Amino acid sequence: MTTLDWHAARRGLPVLDGSAETGAIDVKAVRQYRQARLRLEMRRQGIDAVILSDPVNIRYATGTRNMQVFSMRNGPARTLVLTAGRSVLFEFTGCLHLAAGFETVDEVRPSLTASYVAAGPDIAARERQWAAAMADLIAEITGGRDTVVGLERINAGAAIALKEQGVTIVDAQAPVERARAIKSPEEVTCVVASLRATEAGVARLRGALKPGITEAALWSVLHQAVIEQNGDYCETRLLNSGPRTNPWFQETGLRVIQANELVALDTDVVGCHGYYADFSRTFHAGPDRPTPAQKALYQAAFEQVQHNMGLLKPGLSFRDYAEQAWDIPERYIANRYYLSAHGCGMTGEYPYLYHRADFPAAGYDGIIEAGMVLCVESFIGEAGGGEGVKLEQQVLVTDDGIEVLSQFPLESSFFE
């Protein structure tokens, strides 16, 4: 395996918003760009206000963060109301101080959590109370109740109660996803910072891989590295070994890794500055060299990723990309990865680019644009067969083509 000076790559590594380690990244400019992007998309789609409850989207719009995983399953524990000229964050009980100093937040109020665990049998009354407060605030800011409000990730009762307040409700996903799709140069520096930190963690994981270690023990090496470098969390548990590498999406367990098996992983790290480091690698446990069958799987996955990366350029339609994408051999079709590529920012995001065979049923058209960060995917494994190989590269679409952002080396032993 080719080695890099990971310690040198980590020196001066910028991490979370507002911390001492942010280095040369202008995090204020990042926050202001993102909020302006969202407001631009709201105007384009005729939306007067959005009520955001997804903690990742709140972080995108303001830079503020607080218990992201907790907030995802206890909504709406935190809520952001954003209009053309005002940003009001409803923060979790006892946490209002966390938004101090953010120029993207004009006012912080305590959150009124409209969930069953918070209100019990009084949930309907709590939802009506929440809806009335939201409607009053938006009317105060916008000058009336005849408004179009984008809503996301809210329990049904709260949405119904808000509609009964006389506002027109639309889905907030479109403006949010369209905004997030195009990265500023400063955002890209955040993406790269997250990748370099994650690559340092994967290097540690690669060094710890040996027959006899369990999948869970090996996976924990990356988790420790992510937290140690002040990243957030791994969003999935996608590390598996031997027969558990095929089909894909078998979560990490206590299986003991055996000699000469394949070990595949997908990082899915929400890391520095909250940006997603998303690349996949497949390793060989040793001590011997990979078998011809293992090499064939790896080389096919490599070919798919390289071919599809070579297609990406601004102005190419999603449909044309699908038409030109790598032909998956019949023996690998059944277990193919569900996407050919996807957008990537603070999580996986718009757009999804589909395989040719899947485009008629699942695909939608659009245009690849400069400033998009995309992850190009491959999984190669035969249905009912033995092992499989997962590879993925994270790239930036530039004015001229792409720049490969994920730099963790591939395994040279699969090409020898």
Domain final residue pick, 171, 202, 232: 171
Are 237 and 361 found together in one domain? yes
Rounded CA separation 26/34 (Å)? 13
User: For residue 374, which of 399, 340, 400, 326 has the smallest C-alpha distance?
Assistant: 340
- The confidence score (pLDDT) of residue 3 equals 24
Q: What is the DSSP letter of 352?
A: E
| Beta carbons of 321 and 355 less than 8 angstroms apart | no
| Domain contains 39 | no
| Domain contains 26 | no
- The confidence score (pLDDT) of residue 216 equals 98
Are 152 and 277 found together in one domain? no
C-alpha dihedral, 283 to 288 to 292 to 296, nearest 10°: 10
| Beta carbons of 261 and 251 less than 8 angstroms apart | no
| Domain contains 19 | no
Global pTM? 0.92
User: For residue 274, which of 238, 233, 236 has the smallest C-alpha distance?
Assistant: 233
- The confidence score (pLDDT) of residue 23 equals 61
Strand 239-241 relative to strand 262-266, pairing: antiparallel
| Domain contains 22 | no
| Domain contains 42 | no
| Domain contains 3 | no
Amino acid at 131: A
| Domain contains 97 | yes
Overall domain count for the chain = 2
Domain final residue pick, 146, 171, 196: 171
Q: 247: cis peptide before it, omega within 30°?
A: yes
User: For residue 240, which of 252, 228, 248 has the smallest C-alpha distance?
Assistant: 252
Domain that holds residue 242: 181-415
Are 95 and 244 found together in one domain? no
Rounded CA separation 121/108 (Å)? 28
**CA torsion sign, 409 to 13 to 263 to 388?**
negative
Report residue 364 as tokens: 């939608």
Are 164 and 86 found together in one domain? yes
Query: CATH number, domain at 274?
Result: 3.90.230.10
Domain final residue pick, 123, 138, 171: 171
Strand 148-151 relative to strand 168-171, pairing: parallel
Rounded CA separation 43/46 (Å)? 5
Partners of 81 in beta bridges: 51, 88
- The tens place of each residue's pLDDT in the chain, 416 residues long, gives 222 222 223 233 333 344 434 567 889 999 999 999 999 999 999 999 999 999 999 999 999 998 988 888 877 789 999 999 999 999 998 989 989 899 999 999 999 888 888 889 999 999 999 999 999 999 999 987 789 999 998 889 999 999 999 999 999 999 999 999 999 999 999 999 999 999 999 999 999 999 999 999 999 999 999 999 989 999 999 999 999 999 999 999 999 999 999 999 999 999 989 999 999 999 999 999 999 999 999 999 999 999 999 999 999 999 999 999 999 999 999 999 999 999 999 999 999 999 999 999 999 999 999 999 999 999 999 999 899 999 999 999 999 999 999 999 999 999 99
Query: In the sheet that 233-234 helps form, which strands lie side by side, from edge to edge?
Result: 233-234, 269-270, 276-277
Rounded CA separation 71/93 (Å)? 12
Are 144 and 198 found together in one domain? no
| Domain contains 258 | yes
CB atoms within 10 A of CB 24: 8
Are 253 and 119 found together in one domain? no
Are 115 and 198 found together in one domain? no
Q: What is the DSSP letter of 203?
A: H
Report residue 216 as tokens: 């869970």
| Beta carbons of 315 and 398 less than 8 angstroms apart | no
Query: CATH number, domain at 57?
Result: 3.40.350.10
Are 114 and 261 found together in one domain? no
Write the secondary structure of 105-165 as one string of H (helix), E (strand) and C (coil).
Answer: CCEEEECCCCCHHHHHHHHHHHHHHHHHHHHHHHHHHHCCCCCEEEECCCCHHHHHHHHCC
CB atoms within 10 A of CB 312: 20
Q: Where are the alpha helices (DSSP H) in 164-258?
A: 173-181, 185-208, 215-228
| Beta carbons of 197 and 232 less than 8 angstroms apart | no
Judged by DSSP in three states, 37 sits in: helix
Rounded CA separation 3/407 (Å)? 11
